[in-house]
Structure 1
Amino acid sequence: MQSPSTKESSQLCFQNCYPTPFFALNESENPPISKPRNSRAENRRNFTSQTTSSLFPNTEFNNSDSLPSLQESFDQFITTYPHYTETYQIDEIRAKEYYNLSLSNHVCLDYIGIGLFSFSQLHNHFSFSYPSTSSSPPPLPPHSSDFPVFHLCYKSVNLKNQLIEGGDESKLEFSIKNRIRDFLNISEDDYSVVLTANRTSAFRLVAESYPFGSYKKLLTVYDHDSEAIEGMISSSEKRGAQSMAAEFTWPRLKINSSKLRSMITNKSLISKKKGLFVFQLQSRATGARYSYQWMKVAQENGWHVLLDACAVGPKDLDSLGLSLFQPDFLICSFYKVFGENPSGFGCLFVKKSAISLLDSSTSAGIVSLVSARQLFYLPDESSGTENEIDQDLDLGSSSSNSGPIHVQSSRMEKGESSTSLVRLNGDKLSEIEVIDETNEMFIGHRSTRMSRKRNSPIECRCLDHVDSLGLSLVNSRTRYLVNWLINGLKKLQHPNSDRAVPLVKIYGPKIKFDRGPALAFNVFDWKGEKVEPILIQKLADRKSISLSYGFLHHIWFSEKYEQEKGKVLEKRRLEERGCNLGNKRKEKEHLGIRVVTAAFGFIANFADVYKLWTFIAQFLDADFVEKERWRYTALNQKTIEF
């Protein structure tokens, strides 16, 4: 049974979440909000107290029925964060370009990333249909000259040679690479780039090409388990690397600065050839942000630096200033569309001065982009898990068709998937073949590389939206949303217990001005027993809320908290690691905390965080899980394993 608050959230449309004056301020009824006189530094200092004192002060919620309505909550939210109204442009973009989220009442909080195209952009191109049994090619959609959908073709090439010599590329790939460079403000004079199947492939390419024979160390800074990083560590150790990892102090999960500095400086090493320092500016699990000065410290002590920019916010790299802290490698990833199957590709940027130090090796993972309009068959998106290949293709009764068709495999990490092309020989599918760069599907552009200023034939509307909004506007909006949610979650307390038992525990930064839009937490029942994150994810999915779960690790306990260590840490399960990495870790590296994670993209709105809040509040009912089990069985006439 849904609580009244949950029902209200699911019924209200976009306009109802924001009163009319929000879009068209009438000065006689709604005088403009005066700018605060406080300095920026003072605003930062007052942010936490402002949040806790203004949002449901001195209030605890012991059941989901006691929660305030969506409208009441929003009114209080605006009172606390009046400058949220200045972000109305994002709501207009969401209503126009991502209306699928409102139509499906879907809350997407399961990955961090920036898309290339908007839902509206893709929908307009796919607003036609054709029989799946047709033996003739389907008609091309309107405006096919700027058709945005692409497919990935694997290339068996040497990474070093590819970076030096480049290679033939399609018009689509040429255009998208340029657009991404502009978006990230990365100069072609400083960096070469290759496209990869996904984020994991980009990290593995570096691991298989970096000269660990001469530079022995690999030092990573991650507070959470990552398939991409684990794969990199495994590949590096097979090539002779000695891997190390930064630690994070309990309970706030800040970087253990003294230990990290010690590992970076490493006075025992006489040689200046330290190794590879892998760093992220923000945790994609907890939302913790780290100082970019760590990159400078590493560079000054002889390390090459790989910057993981996959979790940075829109336009964050503009404020970083790559010209000041030029990493040797930079990895980012882009998705097709927000709210749909988040398939896309990764980007590996390599500083041109660092290319010469790479070992020559042919590795899998480099891809080229091919426009979907060049294919005879337009594919349906599919999803899967690690090492799963979906080949559910209806090819019709004709056995004479011959043309490239796609199959897709998805990674365990959210937002990571890749697509390959196969050839149809008669009525059988051949094995996945590598598409040669000289294939007729590719168009060389060596002669046009000097004419970079020509207009791009591809419109990446999502990137355009983020460019138009800017860093300050997007960061302010997500700052208000995530801190309101954290405050609301802290107000949820179990009723009728001998001692105060909070429903939710949050890991990493809590209410804080300078935190990212990602959140790691767990839910506990009235006895203090943790509800398994995967169960919460399944139940949330049935409420049209997409969450993820992760594993926090490398947690360091000081003597003060040593007694909590045994109560907090749990052993990582093999099935949660995504794959069998084949390398033995120390036992302590398998210890951590399984958590639920939520991440807010730039088009998230207040209704999204309210819906998540009211969903989590339902766990205050001690019988909520059993009721959901019964409800599922009654509706589907079968049981479900939680």
Structure 2
Amino acid sequence: MLVLINKFLRSKDRAGSDGKQQHEMPPESEHLCMPGCVPVRAKRAAAATTTVTTTARTSRHNFVKAAASGLLAGAQFTNHESLPALPEAYSEFVAAFPQYGTLSRADAIRDEEYQHLDRHVCLDYTGMNLFSHAQMNSSLPSTSAAPPASSGAWQPPFFDIAYKSTSLRTQVQCGDGAKGAAGIGSAIRKRIMASLKILEDEYSMVCTANRTTAFRLLAESYSFQSGKQLLAVYDYESEAVGAMAESARRRGADVTSASFAWPSMRIHAADLRKKLARGRRRGGRGLFVFPLASRMTGARYQYLWMRAAHEQGWHVALDACALGTKDLDTFGLSLIRPDFIVCNFFKVFGENPSGFAGLFVKKSSLAALERSVIARSIGIVSIVPARRWSLREGYSTELEHSLSFPKLAEPAADDVDIETTSSFSGPLSSTAITRSRTLQADVTDNGDAPEIREVDTAENGGVYPDEPKESAEDDDETEQLAKEEGKGSESVMEVECRGLDHADALGLIAIGNRLRCISNWLVVAMQKLRHPHAESGHQLVHVYGPRVKFDRGPSLAFNVFDWKGERVAPPLVQKLADRHNISLTCGFLRNIWFSDKYEAERNVLEHRIAGDAGALSAGGKSRKDAGGDLGILVVNASLGFLSNFEDAYRLWAFVAKFLDADFVEKERWRYTALNQRTVEV
């Protein structure tokens, strides 16, 4: 029987080599079966794969073609009053991108859960949304008494953060030992990791106060002392990366950056390959910090750069803060697992930016971290129950539930005090003693949530020396905390994070398609604005980075120019946008490389001046590292998964107002007449 099968398959292969014979094969012969044997797949599968690849390429080409030629075809707008009305613009938009019409579920979610977004266009949020506006503003039950400890009810404002003093390595090994923190903190971490498809048996999640502290904490904890390097891939000035670079440089690291080719702002591949291969190999080259997309220009980068870095002996830190809510749920990241991942989370999109950052540490990469004493004071936080207020009592007794500690052991002679104060303000009163530390919490009338700091009372009057590593005694502390965490384990409560639920319900493909359509329409629309009667035909808007492109990110970097060709100051554009209920940001593009073809355009660069919005490094000081003293100050708009076409249209209509040569002056006088602060040009 096997001989017959082999002969048949060989004859099938010979037939496949002849185009005529191959076409004569019936469609159902994809699965070949002889009597008494299992089906055998013939080689037509290879042809099917080729067909799928061609179809995908064709789809990408058709998308770009529709965006470039089907949107506002032949139109040039020289007056903001000549713009098409919103319904007309939307009809043309949907005609060019028919797939957008199939994504109406996102609009339904926005109408039901985020009605505040209709009043203000929020294009300044990057990160992941935990809760919905409707969920955060739901009616609260009476807070005159704390709910039972076993209650599963979880009411706004849900949680606060409390600072704690511990090293990153110790936190990864132990987690949160306090039972109260474990209840809410563990529940939120589990929910986040489930949404991001990050496996708990592969990564540990450490919460930090914000993105900047996460980067600085990683720099202070990573083993840079052996002369390793820090290589970052950013086309803009980042406060978080600047803080990381300062810490790494102080600890002896060689800090370098990738460069980006003008005008597309793509990675200069030859330069980056050279930098990845440079330096020591034994023991690793250092830390490679890589975002998959620029939060400023919308340029996207290939996953394979992470693989190349791993192969060259680098540890890889993925900056996922600029990614969309579901962008971590991709096939590429399932194959290439970075050593560290940084994400940031806020409570409500467009209203409450408070929250925290998540630093995910791959457990197999733990050896790359040291127990840094300095890192204890940087900003590791616990997630604790939120303060609840009562008009009758001033604050709710639920405050007492925000500190629950493990079962206490007998105190030892080498007790260490831990002072607990609020992450937002004042003290709590409660004292607990463990074998190696004292937990202290004081409560004042303002009812603040706890901030945890570890104070060394044995040496230096409680002030930590500037040393790179902790003492060996911390190993015993780590082991003891791990045991206490096991003793204090409790069932993890379930939490409802509707923001994450909504992103999960839409999924990666729907969110990506939606933002792809809107961002490319906005690029085209911006380029259609031109000053009237300008001899040189000045465009009103210059877009930096990728233009119309299938895989561009949902961020846009641009500048507005007046009829003389002079740039309108980006901070001024930002302020005027805010007064028109549109939130934007400013940024500083940097590390720009010009080929010989574009060498004449180098004059677009400007020297960074300390104090420029978006152009500051850590501490507000200007540095001249990796060409960072030269760049371009720009306006930035970032779309989120809840952004819709109307948001993009309202931004376009606002920017079009600058076609009026007197627009800025009119705004100045209008706000002066309203007794508001004038805008200085």
Q: TM-score range by the shorter chain?
A: 0.7 to 0.9
Task: Look up the equivalent residue of 2:640 and give its one-letter code.
Answer: G
* Alignment root-mean-square deviation, CA: 3.2
Aligned counterpart, 2:116: 100
1:530-569 mapped onto 2 (5 Å cutoff): 530-569=567-606
Distance (Å, rounded) in 1 between the aligned partners of 2:369 and 2:231 = 18
TM-superposed deviation, 1:568: 3.3
Aligned counterpart, 2:471: none
1:503-522 mapped onto 2 (5 Å cutoff): 503-522=540-559
Task: Look up the equivalent residue of 1:446 and give its one-letter code.
Answer: G
Aligned counterpart, 1:206: 218
TM-score normalised by the chain length of structure 1 = 0.81
1:23-422 mapped onto 2 (5 Å cutoff): 39-102=55-118, 105-126=119-140, 138=144, 145-148=153-156, 149-168=158-177, 169-214=181-226, 216-266=228-278, 269=280, 271=282, 273-362=284-373, 363=375, 364-372=378-386, 375=387, 377=389, 419-422=423-426
Aligned counterpart, 1:624: 663
TM-superposed deviation, 1:585: 2.8
Aligned counterpart, 1:501: 538
CA deviation profile, 1:216-274 (whole Å, cap 9, x unmatched)? 100000001111000000011111111000000111111000000000012x6464521
Cα contact 1:116–1:462 (8 A) shared by 2: yes
Distance (Å, rounded) in 1 between the aligned partners of 2:199 and 2:311 = 23
Structure 1 residues 622 and 140, CA, compared in 2 at 3 Å: closer, same or farther?
farther
TM-superposed deviation, 1:501: 0.3
1:446 aligns with 2:486: yes
Distance (Å, rounded) in 1 between the aligned partners of 2:140 and 2:675 = 33
Instruction: Report % sequence identity.
Output: 46
Which secondary structure does the structure 2 equivalent of 1:595 belong to? strand
Aligned counterpart, 2:522: 485
TM-score normalised by the chain length of structure 2 = 0.76
Cα contact 2:286–2:315 (8 A) shared by 1: yes
Cα contact 2:140–2:155 (8 A) shared by 1: no
Cα contact 1:224–1:552 (8 A) shared by 2: yes
Instruction: Choose from 618, 623, 629 the match for 1:590.
Output: 629
Cα contact 1:551–1:572 (8 A) shared by 2: no
Task: Look up the equivalent residue of 2:585 and give its one-letter code.
Answer: S
Aligned counterpart, 1:414: none
TM-superposed deviation, 1:567: 3.4
Indicate the structure (1 or 2) with the bigger Cα radius of gyration.
Answer: 2
Task: Look up the equivalent residue of 2:324 and give its one-letter code.
Answer: G
Aligned counterpart, 1:608: 647
Unaligned runs of 5+ in 1: 1-35, 129-136, 379-394, 407-417, 439-443
CA deviation profile, 1:43-79 (whole Å, cap 9, x unmatched)? 1012222112111111100000111111110111111
CA deviation profile, 1:572-600 (whole Å, cap 9, x unmatched)? 43453164266843483211000000011
CA deviation profile, 1:267-318 (whole Å, cap 9, x unmatched)? x646452100000101111111000100000000110110111111232222
Cα contact 2:205–2:361 (8 A) shared by 1: yes
TM-superposed deviation, 1:426: 6.3
Task: Look up the equivalent residue of 1:629 and give its one-letter code.
Answer: R
Task: Look up the equivalent residue of 1:96 and give its one-letter code.
Answer: E
Which secondary structure does the structure 1 equivalent of 2:628 belong to? helix
TM-superposed deviation, 1:188: 1.4
Aligned counterpart, 2:38: none
Distance (Å, rounded) in 2 between the aligned partners of 1:282 and 1:617 = 28
| Paired positions, count | 559
Distance (Å, rounded) in 2 between the aligned partners of 1:40 and 1:621 = 43
Structure 1 residues 633 and 583, CA, compared in 2 at 3 Å: closer, same or farther?
closer
CA deviation profile, 1:305-349 (whole Å, cap 9, x unmatched)? 101111112322221444421111111111101110211110111
Cα contact 1:197–1:345 (8 A) shared by 2: yes
TM-superposed deviation, 1:498: 1.0
CA deviation profile, 1:93-112 (whole Å, cap 9, x unmatched)? 0011101222xx21000122
TM-superposed deviation, 1:145: 1.8
Aligned counterpart, 2:452: 434
Cα contact 2:161–2:449 (8 A) shared by 1: no
CA deviation profile, 1:7-44 (whole Å, cap 9, x unmatched)? xxxxxxxxxxxxxxxxxxxxxxxxxxxxx999221010
Distance (Å, rounded) in 2 between the aligned partners of 1:396 and 1:595 = 50
Task: Look up the equivalent residue of 2:521 and give its one-letter code.
Answer: W
Distance (Å, rounded) in 2 between the aligned partners of 1:419 and 1:478 = 36
Distance (Å, rounded) in 1 between the aligned partners of 2:526 and 2:141 = 41
Task: Look up the equivalent residue of 1:544 and give its one-letter code.
Answer: N
Aligned counterpart, 1:382: none
Distance (Å, rounded) in 2 between the aligned partners of 1:352 and 1:342 = 30
Cα contact 2:399–2:447 (8 A) shared by 1: no
TM-superposed deviation, 1:636: 1.8
Task: Look up the equivalent residue of 1:434 and give its one-letter code.
Answer: I
CA deviation profile, 1:507-529 (whole Å, cap 9, x unmatched)? 00111111111100000000000
Which secondary structure does the structure 2 equivalent of 1:318 belong to? coil
Cα contact 1:272–1:301 (8 A) shared by 2: no
TM-superposed deviation, 1:564: 1.6
Unaligned runs of 5+ in 2: 1-51, 403-421, 428-441, 456-476, 478-483
Task: Look up the equivalent residue of 2:619 and give its one-letter code.
Answer: N
Structure 1 residues 340 and 637, CA, compared in 2 at 3 Å: closer, same or farther?
closer
Distance (Å, rounded) in 2 between the aligned partners of 1:37 and 1:324 = 20
